[in-house]
Amino acid sequence: MTRVIVTGGAGFIGSHLCRTLLEKGYEVICIDNLYTGSKENIADLLQNSNFEFIKHDITDGIIINAEQIYNLACPASPVHYQNQPIQTIKTSTLGVWNMLNLAKKTKARFLQASTSEVYGDPSVHPQKESYWGNVNPIGIRACYDEGKRLAECLCMEFDRQHEAEIRVIRIFNTYGPNMALNDGRVISNFLVQAIKGDPITIYGDGSQTRSFQYVSDLVNGMIKMMEQDDFVGPVNLGNPGEFTIKELAEKVIKVCNSKSEIIYKPLPNDDPRKRKPDISLAKEKLDWEPIIPLDEGIIKTRDYFIERLKREK
């Protein structure tokens, strides 16, 4: 039985990854400091004899034997990483350093969950892995954007200098069940507002674009990347369907049968105007592409938030 560590495993994406790995017959060790993760996300897994949860911050070292390490530990929402910018930097540097050293010692294959934010506010559209990005290194998003860029650098140096088995993915906007109510990301914000009947808040004029992938598509891509031999990456994992933020708001209002109105507020600093992945490399190397259309994924996520909001009352 393959033993796998998932850092950030109680988070939104991590919890889905843990669940899928268990279904595939892996032994899973979930490590999370619960800053943005929640034990509620993994409550159904705690009784599984092949699952272990360890509350731990990866900025402190840890010794555990495993064959694979998925490193997802890091706040990924602007609300959370801008609230704790220095801790976010430490997680993407010292934390990644610690987990890479663990991978080196145990000879584990290591997958780093990087992000489309390494492209910043891109001047190339769609974004290919060969594009170096357009990032403000001292802006309010830099703790996350530059932290992830440095994490990729660390991974590549471990690959070159220590011949570690490294895999790097760049995750584009992902959504689905287990997102936090206060996540701060656009789909969760819109769904919660629409279900409550509150005004839907668009920052800017709504013409900025994003591409949204359902979480099960991402998890499948992550596992394919981990199991791929002789390919380090980085590789984009995202849905190339491109929508304006206003189009997204209108879709959410429709699927929620909501009477919410749309209101507009100023665009935050350094917010990207466009975001769309070129997934040619993922198709070629991983035989992967997303299969869940946005309308279907929003309905699944809507149902989750309806139940979640009922429990919060």
> Within 10 A of 154 (CB to CB), how many other CB atoms are there?
17
Residue 313 C-beta-side C-alpha neighbours within 13 Å: 6
In three-state secondary structure terms, 248 is: helix
In three-state secondary structure terms, 237 is: strand
Q: Is 22 exposed, middle or buried (0-12, 13-18, 19+ CB in 10 A)?
A: middle
Rg of the chain (C-alpha set)? 19
In three-state secondary structure terms, 190 is: helix
Buried b (16+ CB within 10 A) or exposed e, 173-202: bbbbbbbbeebbbbbbbbbbbbbeeeebeb
* Strand ranges for the chain from DSSP E: 3-7, 27-32, 51-55, 68-71, 109-115, 166-171, 174-175, 200-203, 209-210, 213-214, 235-237, 243-244, 262-265
Cβ atoms of residues 183 and 38 within 8 Å: no
Using CA atoms, how far apart are residues 235 and 168, in angstroms rounded to an integer?
7
Q: Whole-model pTM?
A: 0.94
Residue 118 C-beta-side C-alpha neighbours within 13 Å: 27
Q: What angle do CA 163, 169, 171 make, to 5 degrees?
A: 160
Q: Which residues contact 197 (CB under 8 A, 6 or more apart)?
A: 258, 259, 260
The per-residue pLDDT for 213 is 96
Would you list the domain boundaries of the chain?
A: 3-178+213-239+274-290
The per-residue pLDDT for 18 is 98
Tell me the residue type at 308: R
Using CA atoms, how far apart are residues 235 and 275, in angstroms rounded to an integer?
15
Cβ atoms of residues 172 and 239 within 8 Å: yes
How far, in whole angstroms, is CA 148 from its chain's centroid?
A: 12
Q: Active-site residues: which are they?
A: 144
Segments in the chain below pLDDT 50 = none
Q: Cα(first)–Cα(last) distance of the chain, in Å?
A: 42
The per-residue pLDDT for 88 is 96
The per-residue pLDDT for 77 is 80
Looking at the DSSP bridge assignments, the partners of residue 265 are: 203
**Domain at 3-178+213-239+274-290: CATH code:** 3.40.50.720
The per-residue pLDDT for 269 is 76
Cβ atoms of residues 203 and 266 within 8 Å: yes
The per-residue pLDDT for 183 is 82
Using CA atoms, how far apart are residues 240 and 62, in angstroms rounded to an integer?
38
The per-residue pLDDT for 76 is 86
